[in-house]
């Protein structure tokens, strides 16, 4: 493809690509790509995402580079959008060649972010959850819920998911979408009911508030908590006492201290970055009774891995359209002449 043309993956392309490959296959393969990039974590540029906060939400840029390819994601988080019939999270992303600075992929990332978030959660649980875990409580049944359930099924072997949301319609939606997908689905009236018998607890709520979705007495010994919804300043889901007795694992700690559950704790509270566990530099779960917490806020390296995965699949399937994004004069010094010749 000429350098002035950049493959663009629209929402329609992304949906057709995922359905062509199979949702669970995509989740498994995304998790493998993300894990591979966590193995080479030290190679990446790392910075907390660049955030513009308002009273109603946040707009962020999430950049990174491995020295050969550069990537970024634009993403928002506006919890009140749901009441207006809008998505609470929308996103797009770009990959570029470091050697030339030229873009090589532009893609929707609303769907892709949902996929990579779930893939990252399940990949972390593979390292941190109790062996043989088969039941997950899923508290918060909005746009991310089904992706989480299917990722844990495909990657961790979970067989039962117990659903709860303060909005019964959200739980009904989630249960209907998961029907016939190989999971036992139980709809629960309370979070206390949802966690009964669960070895994994996923919290994925949307409100931008310091909430208490889980209290300390709800979390028994040996549980793995996948904390997804606490992802910006002033937005948490877990009571502080849970954090104080958990082994806490993060993506990029300087970002998580700003945005994750650990914003409730002193800045020197000990945590372990997940890449260190994957690389064999730090232990994950150390005992059957240990409570583990993956304090997930999302990080640019996960988006980078997801975009590289999409670029490879698009090259195989052709599910994109070329965008004429880069001016390409015959003489690089004659951009003005190129403009005049367009008359």
Q: Known catalytic residues?
A: 231
Q: Report the alpha-carbon distance of residue 51 to residue 60 in Å, rounded.
A: 4
First to last CA, the chain: 25
What's the sign of the alpha-carbon dihedral 17, 22, 24, 30? negative
Q: Report the alpha-carbon distance of residue 66 to residue 46 in Å, rounded.
A: 10
User: Alpha helix locations (H) across the chain?
Assistant: 11-21, 23-39, 110-128, 145-151, 168-178, 191-194, 240-244, 253-259, 274-278, 300-317, 335-341
Nearest to 208 by CA among 2, 56, 43: 56
Q: Report the alpha-carbon distance of residue 214 to residue 223 in Å, rounded.
A: 13
Dihedral pair phi/psi, residue 171, rounded to 5°: -65, -40
Nearest to 103 by CA among 266, 324, 272, 267: 324
**Cβ–Cβ < 8 Å for 76, 90:** yes
Q: Report the alpha-carbon distance of residue 131 to residue 243 in Å, rounded.
A: 22
């Amino acid at each position: 493809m000429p350098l002035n043309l950049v493959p663009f993956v629209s929402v329609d392309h992304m949906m057709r690509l995922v359905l062509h490959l199979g949702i669970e296959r995509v989740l498994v393969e995304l998790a493998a790509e993300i894990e591979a990039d966590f193995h080479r974590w030290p190679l990446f540029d790392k910075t907390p995402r660049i955030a513009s906060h308002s009273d109603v939400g946040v707009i962020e840029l999430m950049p990174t580079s491995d020295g050969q390819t550069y990537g970024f994601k634009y993403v928002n988080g506006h919890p009140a959008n749901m009441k207006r019939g809008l998505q609470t999270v929308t996103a797009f992303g770009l990959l570029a060649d470091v050697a030339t600075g030229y873009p090589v992929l532009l893609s929707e990332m609303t769907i892709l972010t949902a996929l990579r978030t779930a893939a990252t959660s399940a990949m972390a649980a593979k390292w941190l959850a109790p062996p043989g875990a088969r039941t997950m409580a899923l508290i918060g049944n909005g746009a991310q819920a089904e992706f989480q359930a299917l990722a844990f099924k495909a990657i961790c072997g979970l067989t039962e998911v117990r659903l709860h949301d303060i909005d019964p319609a959200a739980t009904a939606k989630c249960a209907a979408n998961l029907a016939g997908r190989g999971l036992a689905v139980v709809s629960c009236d309370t979070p206390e009911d949802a966690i009964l018998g669960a070895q994994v607890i996923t919290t994925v709520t949307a409100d931008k508030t310091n909430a208490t979705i889980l209290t300390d007495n709800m979390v028994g010994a040996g549980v793995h908590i996948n904390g997804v919804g606490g992802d910006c300043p002033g937005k948490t889901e877990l009571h502080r006492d849970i954090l104080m007795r958990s082994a806490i694992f993060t993506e990029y700690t300087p970002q998580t201290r700003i945005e994750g559950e650990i914003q409730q704790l002193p800045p020197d509270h000990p945590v372990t970055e997940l890449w260190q566990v994957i690389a064999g530099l730090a232990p994950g779960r150390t005992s059957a009774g240990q409570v583990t917490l993956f304090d997930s806020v999302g990080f640019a390296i996960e988006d980078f891995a997801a975009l590289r995965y999409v670029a490879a699949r698009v090259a195989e399937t052709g599910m994109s359209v070329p965008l004429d994004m880069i001016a390409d004069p015959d003489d690089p010094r004659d951009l003005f002449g190129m403009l005049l010749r367009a008359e």
